[in-house]
Amino acid sequence: MELYTKKDAATRKKDALSRKVSRFDNRLEAGVAKLSTQSLLDDGAFSNEVRECVRDIVSFGAPVDSVNKIIHAVAKALNIRICDDISSRSVGRIILEGLVGAQVQVVDAVKNTDHFTASGDGTSHKNLNYESRFIFVKDKLLALGLTQAPNHTSEEQMAGWMALIREMYAAYNASPLGREHPEDFRTFYIKITGMMTDHAADQKKLRALFLEMKKRMDHEIRGERALLCLSAPKLLDVIYEITDTKIQAAGGMAAWDALTAEERTRRNSTLHTELTQKFGQAEFEKLTPEERAEALFFHCGGCFMHKDLNAHKGGVVRMIAAWLKHGFSQPIILMNKDNAAAASSGSSAAKERAEKVSSRGAVKLCELMGILLNNKDDKRGQQDSHGVYFAAHEHIGHSIRFPDTSNTRYQCYSLAAAEIIVNLPVYREMMQFIRDRKMSLAYTNLEKNIWEGINDLRTIVELVVLLWYGQNFSHPVMRIVRARSSAGGPQNLWDMGPAIRQLIAHLERVIADPNIIMGPNLTHTTASMDGKPWERPEAMYAAHALLPTLPLNEVRVVFVEFLEGALEKWRSFGSDVLESNLTDAQKRKAAMPATNCINEGFLGSNARVALRRAPNATVDHINANAQYKQNGTGEFIAEKLNTPAAQQFLRQEARAISAEGRQRKRKIAQAEHDQRTVNEHREKRTKFDAKKAKEIADINKCVPIFDASRFTDPAMLKEILVPQLDLQLKWHRLRELEVDKKTEIPALSKLKKNQKADLIVAAIGRWMPRVSAGEVSLMGPEVLQTTEEGEEGVEPDDEEDDAGYGEQD
């Protein structure tokens, strides 16, 4: 019995163990399944790691609608099952969290530095204006993003800066960082020490507006500190004094009481500003001259690429003028289709006008070849067939992309000139190939111009000159500018003085002795500005091989003229660096990148490329993605906004931005601005038409004098007043415009009495023969009271009332 009991117990134990073992596989599978299944959610919200992953995926260029698919595809490849989905709407909000983080990051960077510089640029896309802005702080470029602007005036740009600065500081002060240590937006203006822009007039005005704002904020902060130190009675006395001034300005107490409550409130609203500015100015004047200069230190510079661009343009202008200046035959004219048709019509006047408005020379040829071989519209031109031809050519063997002159990139014309000279025989063959591939066996007008240009000796001379300047001056100096600094960042503009002086010295050296580049002993050590190998050595040797086939005297003269034009512009546009007289400490304080390429690239990749890829994307989403990537915002969020409170702040702000409807507000603001512009233009045109009609009516009341002796006899002329002479001239001008649509009578404001009398005699001499021949009646055709239908009126010159009646010979 005992043995049976033991056996039974052993059997039961065995069965239990067997069942336990059989469950191992299921439990193992369940454990593995549990480990390989992941959720995107953490306590009902997407985890911080998932949010960071989403922002990274989008910053790499993935479309918003594809983020969920990408996450699941990657998880599947790793044998992980994701049990949740993330919607495009959630992705959009998570992206906006990056925008808020970037704004906080910028203010945090300004907070933790003593000085920084700013830069900006603008462009248009589909007839809308966009502005890009950066700051350069501690050798790091931080993007402030794109903004949409109604126009590109200096005032509008300044308003955009002010609105953006307030928005960034509002975001920072709402964050946990700002709630603990709030920041005053005015410190942005106090700490800014310079600005990088191009050399345009509107940018110079923007710099002046920024300096004025910096001065205003400096005085305001100093004034507030001074007011805090005043006793209550003294403060009341000052307030009473300013208030009394306001009342007197309104015309006394009775006039003040007569004002509406809103108007009195508006006038009183400036009280704080007036107080702070008054005391701030007083405190500022107590500083030493050195302290004042330090407080308002604001040094601005122009983009180095624009210096090179303007120098190149100056050289081209001198080169084009050199042909006629020295009595040489000009490069062949390259007419567009319409002008070519007008020139071949048989009319000498039409031909003369067509030639006058048409272009010629190397720059025009490079532009035309860019249109044909690398058009910015990928449906036009030869495009890839050009590369295929070169890849199959026995002497080339690889595909070539023609420089992008169709888009007008920096240095594209000198690069295009080098490309044409190196492969000149091949381009000649290719143009014949393009012609003969067509059934018509004929060139289009564009192709005909290119064919004539690449076979014209003087156009080739200009190509060689462009090539020489690019290889020996432009490319070497830009190598210096584009090199990285010792700190690993971009070169400081204020350290570029030696490079500009070296370039100017080399220009002067080659102008004095062109054989340095033209001579038989050509070498990069003497020809190139920096003595380093050329950007494209084969181009220099190809140009040298062409010299025996070219008119050498013309080559020398045109080359020297180009260099003199470039030298003049380098001295002018390089003066901001050469004449800065900054100490080493000031150079570091006003440090800024030597070029403004960062803004231009930011505009190109975001205001153009990004909007082409996602036409419905909002400016906020584009900024969020671009700033997150450019500024390294992901690391900043992980380091300083990683607390639950900070993450909640980012989510709340992103939701607020998403619900605010900013894009619609921008469109409405743009539409309202456009309507105001239309109204202003219509009002201006109405006033102009009324003024013009009145002036024409006054002219038609004039009794014309056809006796020329009245104006040639000094005694008789003395009796005629200058206003009467003006009226006679206006009568003849109007009659000539009515009959011929043009006039030989110039503007009158700077003419003396005798000159006006001579013009009247000449006008009578033109008019009376036509009357005698029966071409016109003595008093002219029927007077026109308004401009003809469909004809554009010309607005009058501000300096005189009689301008605006048409073109002059």
Return the SS3 of 672: helix
| DSSP string over 264-325 | HHHHHTTHHHHHHHHHHHHHHHTS-HHHHHHHT--EEEE-HHHHHHHHHHHHHHHHHHHHHH
Neighbours of 121 (CB within 10 A): 22
Mean pLDDT, residues 340-368: 75
Bridge partners (DSSP) of residue 195 are: 118, 300
Q: Which residue has the tokens 């959630």?
A: 90
pLDDT at position 616, please?
86
Predicted confidence at residue 186, as pLDDT, reads: 95
Closest by CA to 623, choosing from 92, 178, 210, 203, is 92
Residue 48 has pLDDT above 60, yes or no: yes
pLDDT, position 337: 78
Pairing of β 140-149 and β 128-137: antiparallel
pLDDT at position 200: 86
Structure tokens at 228: 């805090």
Is the pLDDT score of 784 beyond 50? no
Q: What is the mean pLDDT of the chain?
A: 87
What amino acid occupies position 439? M
Q: Which residues of 70-89 are buried (b: 16+ CB within 10 A; e: fewer)?
A: bbbeebeeeeeebeeebeee
Task: Identify the sign of the CA torsion 334, 335, 341, 342.
Answer: negative
Mean local confidence (pLDDT), 709-737? 89
134: helix, strand or coil: strand
Q: Distance between CA atoms of 420 and 335, rounded to whole angstroms?
A: 20
pLDDT at 786 over 50: no
Tell me: pLDDT of 168 over 80: yes
Q: What is the pLDDT of residues 288-313, one digit of tens each?
A: 999 999 999 999 999 999 999 999 99
pLDDT score of 327 more than 90: yes
Burial of 603-619, coded b for 16+ CB within 10 Å and e otherwise, reads bbebbeebbeeeeebbb
Tell me the β-bridge partners of 37.
Answer: 81
Provide the pLDDT confidence category of residue 700 given band limits of 50, 70 and 90: confident
List, for residues 97-112, the tens digit of each pLDDT value: 999 999 999 999 999 9
Q: Quote the DSSP letter at residue 192.
A: E
Residue 274 has pLDDT above 90, yes or no: no
User: Which pLDDT value is given to residue 794?
Assistant: 38
pLDDT at residue number 802: 36
Phi, psi for 117 (deg, rounded to 5): -125, 160
Instruction: Please list, in sequence order, all residues whose beta carbon lies within 8 angstroms of the beta carbon of residue 374, skipping any fewer than 6 positions away.
Output: 381, 383, 386, 401, 402, 403, 404, 405, 406
**Mean pLDDT score, 340-354:** 67
Which of 76-90, 98-112, 592-606, 728-742 is most confident?
98-112
Would the pLDDT of 724 be above 60?
yes
d(CA 194, CA 787): 50
Question: Between these two residues, 251 and 306, which has the higher pLDDT value?
Answer: 306
Look at residue 801 and tell me whether its pLDDT is greater than 80: no
Residue 135 forms beta bridges with which residues? 118, 142
Asked if residues 124 and 686 have their Cβ atoms less than 8 Å apart, the reply is no
Q: What is the largest CA-CA distance in the chain?
A: 164
pLDDT in tens, 211-236: 999 999 999 999 988 888 877 777 77
Give the model's pLDDT for residue 517: 96
Angle CA(516)–CA(518)–CA(524) in degrees, nearest 5? 55
Tokens 């593995």 sit at which residue? Answer: 32
Identity of the highest mean pLDDT range in 35-44, 438-447, 785-794: 438-447
Give yes or no for a contact between 418 and 539, defined as CB atoms under 8 angstroms apart. yes
| Structural domain boundaries in the chain | 1-30, 101-298+597-613, 304-331+457-595, 359-455, 695-809
Strand ranges for 43-98 from DSSP E: 45-46, 81-82
Q: What is the mean pLDDT of residues 282-292?
A: 93
Summarize the confidence of residues 683-707 as an average pLDDT. Answer: 90
Buried b / exposed e over 414-448, threshold 16 CB at 10 Å, is bbbbbbbbbbbebbeebbeebbeeeeeeebebbbb
pLDDT at 797 over 50: no
- Is the model's pLDDT at 709 over the cut of 60? yes
Judge whether residue 795 has pLDDT over 60.
Answer: no
Q: What percent of the chain has pLDDT over 90?
A: 56
**Residue 196: strand, helix, or coil:** strand
According to DSSP, the residues that pair with 143 across neighbouring strands are 134
Three-state secondary structure string covering 358-381? CEECHHHHHHHHHHHHCCCCCCCC
Provide the 3-class DSSP secondary structure of residue 591: coil
Can you tell me whether residue 795 is helix, strand or coil? coil
More confident residue, 344 or 453: 453
Copy the structure tokens of residue 762: 């000449």
796, pLDDT greater than 80 = no
> Whole-angstrom Cα distance, residue 490 to residue 481?
8
590: Cβ contacts below 8 Å, ≥ 6 apart: 115, 117, 193, 194, 297, 299, 301, 494, 582
Whole-angstrom Cα distance, residue 256 to residue 250?
A: 6
State the virtual CA torsion across 662, 663, 664, 669 in degrees, nearest 10: 90
Please tell me what DSSP assigns to residue 556.
Answer: H
Mean pLDDT, rounded, for 642-666: 93
How far, in whole angstroms, is CA 98 from its chain's centroid? 26
pLDDT band at 364 (very low <50, low <70, confident <90, very high): very high
